[in-house]
Amino acid sequence: MRRLYVLMPDAESCKRMVDEIEATGIPEHHLHVLASLAQRLEGLPEASVWQKTEIAHSIAWGVGLGGVAGLVGGVLTVVFPPAGLVLGGGALLAGVAAGAGLGGAISAILGSHEHSHTLDRFRREISAGRLLLMVDAPRRRVDEIRQMILRHHPEAEIEVMVAKGRDSGH
């Protein structure tokens, strides 16, 4: 998947663009709109915490680092068992699972409070009243969607990036 970032001039033109993109078969859950707090997004698919924050990135890092820490803890527990207990591979698996779960949970809490740095480049425009439309589209359809947007808004600046955790090669 690729994510297209498009700044739209107002809510009405954004609604028309969302309707047209949906008509091409892109489902609403692949469309996300971000606006300033002063704007109402009635009838538009509002960006969720997953698009507005670093939560997904944080969870991935937390699970990975927590799993490694759990593995180290599990190895230490097997090598130096407490109170003469005999532990095996189950202790390693339990350590990895516990570390990954705890790391993922803590990172999710922290990441949900950190704004998405990808969106920093759009903050000034959003504060000025424009809306940011994010479209997650299969790689093979990016040019088609891009051309459709430009037909209606030739002034549109469209950035395309890999949608985090979603590049399936389509």
The stretch 44-51 carries a mean pLDDT of 88
Q: Note down the domain range covering 71.
A: 55-111
Q: Is 168 part of a structural domain of the chain? A: no
- d(Cα 119, Cα 23) in Å, to the nearest integer? 26
User: Is position 88 within any domain?
Assistant: yes
Statement to judge: residues 24 and 63 lie in one domain: no
The least confident of 51-55, 97-101, 121-125, 162-166 is 162-166
Comparing 97 with 165, which gets the higher pLDDT?
97
Q: Are residues 61 and 87 in the same domain?
A: yes
The model's pLDDT over 133-155, given as tens digits with 9 standing for 90+, comes to 999 999 999 999 999 999 888 87
> Do 154 and 72 share a structural domain?
no
pLDDT for 164 equals 55
| Mean predicted confidence (pLDDT) in 61-84 | 88
Record the pTM: 0.73
Q: Looking at residue 155, what DSSP letter applies?
A: T
Q: Is residue 73 part of a domain?
A: yes
Q: Are residues 121 and 146 in the same domain?
A: yes
Buried b (16+ CB within 10 A) or exposed e, 113-126: eeebebbeebeebb
Q: How distant, in Å, are the alpha carbons of 18, 20, 61, 83, 137 from that of 26?
A: 9, 9, 30, 59, 7
Q: Reading across the β-sheet that carries 2-8, which strands appear in turn?
A: 31-34, 131-137, 2-8, 158-162
Backbone dihedral region for residue 43 (phi beyond 0: left; psi -120 to 50: alpha; all else: beta) = left
Please write the tens of the pLDDT for every residue from 78-135: 888 777 777 778 888 888 999 999 999 999 888 887 877 788 889 899 999 999 999 9
Together in a domain, 69 and 106: yes
Same domain, 66 and 89: yes
74 inside domain = yes
How many domains would you assign to the chain? 2
Within a domain: residue 28?
yes
Same structural domain, 97 and 144: no
pLDDT at 48: 84
pLDDT tens readout for residues 5-36: 999 988 988 999 999 999 999 999 999 999 98
Shared domain check, 102 and 133: no
- pLDDT reported for residue 27: 94
